């Protein structure tokens, strides 16, 4: 008397054909066709979405950092002791020179996007407000993203000789 051999051999008949339960196990289910490709497509789309969001966030953080640093440099340039504080023309010329220098340091980003406001400047402090719109990597969601606008106000005390 022969015993059945465990495993796939047990589902074979003497001629090598598969038994009915073995055919059901071996045959792929037609209803499952394409399920792997659909989930893979959603996975790739989710990955790309997170990747573009991360790139957008890093670009905006970098632009904000560079804009803030250059705004401080421009305000310090106007607050320097070399600028004649008694002459409004000299202060205005220093502001124009500082704007021009800042735009040159920031390249095309500075030429196209920066808006300067020196209206808070008084005899004791130079106040510069800089606004800029960041470019968007995620084209379709530009209005939804919360960090696309830079709005910084820097204040520097006027230097005086003692």
Tens-place pLDDT, residues 35-89: 788 889 999 999 998 998 888 889 889 999 999 999 999 999 999 888 888 888 9
Tens-place pLDDT, residues 106-147: 998 888 889 999 998 888 899 999 999 887 777 666 667 777
Confidence (pTM)? 0.70
Q: Annotate 14-38 with DSSP letters as a single string.
A: TTSPBPHHHHHHHSPPGGGTTHHHH
Domain boundaries, the chain: 35-157
Q: 120 phi and psi, to 5 degrees? A: -85, 0
| Bridge partners of residue 155, in order along the sequence | 127
């Amino acid at each position: 008397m022969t015993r059945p051999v465990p495993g796939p051999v047990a589902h074979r008949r003497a001629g090598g054909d598969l038994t009915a339960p073995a055919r059901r196990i071996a045959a792929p289910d037609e209803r499952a066709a394409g399920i792997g490709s659909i989930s893979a497509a959603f996975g790739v789309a989710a990955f790309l979405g997170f990747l573009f969001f991360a790139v957008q966030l890093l670009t905006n953080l970098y632009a904000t950092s560079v804009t803030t640093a250059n705004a401080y440099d421009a305000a310090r340039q106007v607050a320097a002791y070399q600028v004649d504080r008694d002459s409004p023309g000299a202060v205005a010329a220093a502001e124009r020179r500082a704007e021009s220098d800042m735009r040159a340091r920031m390249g095309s980003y500075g030429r196209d996007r920066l808006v300067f406001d020196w209206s808070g400047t008084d005899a004791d402090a130079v106040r510069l407000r800089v606004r800029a719109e960041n470019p968007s990597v995620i084209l379709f969601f530009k209005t939804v993203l919360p960090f696309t606008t830079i709005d910084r106000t820097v204040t520097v005390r006027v230097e005086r000789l003692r």
